[in-house]
Each structure stands twice: as C-alpha cells, then as structure tokens.
C-alpha cells in the first residue's frame, strides 16, 4: 500500500477499538481456560511459545478485516477453506466447493465418514444419501448439492467428475455447492 490516506479521528479510534477487540477475541479462542488477564504476554516457559500477536497474525487476519468492516466476531470460529476462515459459509451463504475428498487414504486415517473440503479435514458425512455433511468443531450441518457448470452458450464444460471428488484448479461439469442448514428448518 504505497498510497495511504490519513484517517479521520473517528476512523482512528474505530481502528484502535477493532484491534483491541481482535486481540481479545483471539485470546478468548486460543486460551479458553484462562481469563483474558491471565494470558502470558511473553514466551511460555514450558513450550517456548510466544503468545503475543505477530506482524503475520495481523497481516493475514480475516477477523481484523471483518471487524474493520463493522461486523462482529462469530460466537465460534468459522469453518476453514484453504486454511482461511470461511465467514460466508458460517453465515449461511451458499459457497462453491473447489476441493472435495472422501477417498480411501483419508478414511483410513480419520474413519469411514471423514471428508476433506477445500483442504480442511474437519468434516464428516452425517447422511450420505441426503448429502448432509457435519462440521465437526462447530457441530453444524451443511447441505451439499451439485449444479451444472455451463459455458456462456449454455453448453456443459469441464471434466466429468468421479463421484464428488474434486481437485482444486480443475473445472468440472458440475459444481459442488455447500450451504449451512438453518437451525429453524
């Protein structure tokens, strides 16, 4: 960012408030057994871990961006997609899945219902027939569906998938869409 404009006084205070909320939220989720005031502010003597946020933590935080857009943190961290939080999916929006696997290697390591979605293994089949998937950490159910993938002329495009398996970076004749099943449905 070569061209930065100065913030107004209100924007500066809002940004400071967001950063403080980010640190507090990060600490609450990383150290639920501690109160925020008890979290070490330097290296842990046992494991050598530094608990202070780093420059990389700040630069790669989707939560900071969310807070700066005026949105609140979720009650629990959202599912991950390619190592980043997927807030759209957690908030109930339909999201295209670019990588999906429930192959033999994965199931041998994690069990017969194990699934990897967008390179994150925190999923399992809840009901294969109805295509319902459970996010393990959030204990939430999601509906998987297929949609035709067509070019501008309406013709099918892409590779014919084998089952639901998808590899990132390839185009398939059907898109996989995942959406949280609402609590009131």
Q: Is the per-residue pLDDT at 159 higher than 90?
A: no
In order of 81, 126, 148, 176, the CA distances from 133 in angstroms are: 15, 5, 21, 13
Q: Is the per-residue pLDDT at 162 higher than 70?
A: no
Residues in the chain: 185
Q: Are 24 and 36 in contact (CB under 8 A)?
A: yes
Q: Is the per-residue pLDDT at 27 higher than 60?
A: yes
Residues 51-105 pLDDT 10s: 677 888 888 899 999 999 999 999 888 999 998 999 999 999 999 998 888 876 6
Residue ranges covered by each domain of the chain:
9-68, 80-180
Closest CA to 42 of 53, 31, 32: 53
- The neighbouring-strand residues paired with 125 are 133
pLDDT for position 95: 95
pLDDT for position 38: 56
pLDDT for position 168: 72
Helix (H, G, I), strand (E, B) or coil at 132: strand
Q: What is the pTM of this model?
A: 0.73
Q: At 176, give phi and psi (nearest 5°).
A: -95, 130
Q: Is the per-residue pLDDT at 185 higher than 90?
A: no
- Mean per-residue pLDDT over the chain, rounded: 81
pLDDT for position 92: 94
Least confident span in 40-44, 48-52, 63-67, 114-118? 40-44
Which two tokens mark 38? 């008890």
pLDDT for position 17: 93
Distance CA 97, CA 167 (A): 10
């Amino acid at each position: 960012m070569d061209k930065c404009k100065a913030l107004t006084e209100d924007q500066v205070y809002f940004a400071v408030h967001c950063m403080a909320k980010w640190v507090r939220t990060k600490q609450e989720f990383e150290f639920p057994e501690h109160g925020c005031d008890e979290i070490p502010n330097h290296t842990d003597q046992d494991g050598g871990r530094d608990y202070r946020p780093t420059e990389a933590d700040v630069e790669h935080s989707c939560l900071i961006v969310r807070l700066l857009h005026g949105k609140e943190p979720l009650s629990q961290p959202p599912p991950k997609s390619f190592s980043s939080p997927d807030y759209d999916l957690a908030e109930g929006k339909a999201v295209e899945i670019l990588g999906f696997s429930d192959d033999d290697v994965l199931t041998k390591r994690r069990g017969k219902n194990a699934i990897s979605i967008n390179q994150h293994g925190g999923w399992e089949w809840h009901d294969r027939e109805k295509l319902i998937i459970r996010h393990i950490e959030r204990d939430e159910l999601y509906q998987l569906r297929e949609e035709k993938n067509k070019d501008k002329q309406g013709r099918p495009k892409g590779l014919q998938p084998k089952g639901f398996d998808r590899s990132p970076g390839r185009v398939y004749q059907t898109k996989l869409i995942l959406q949280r099943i609402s609590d009131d449905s």
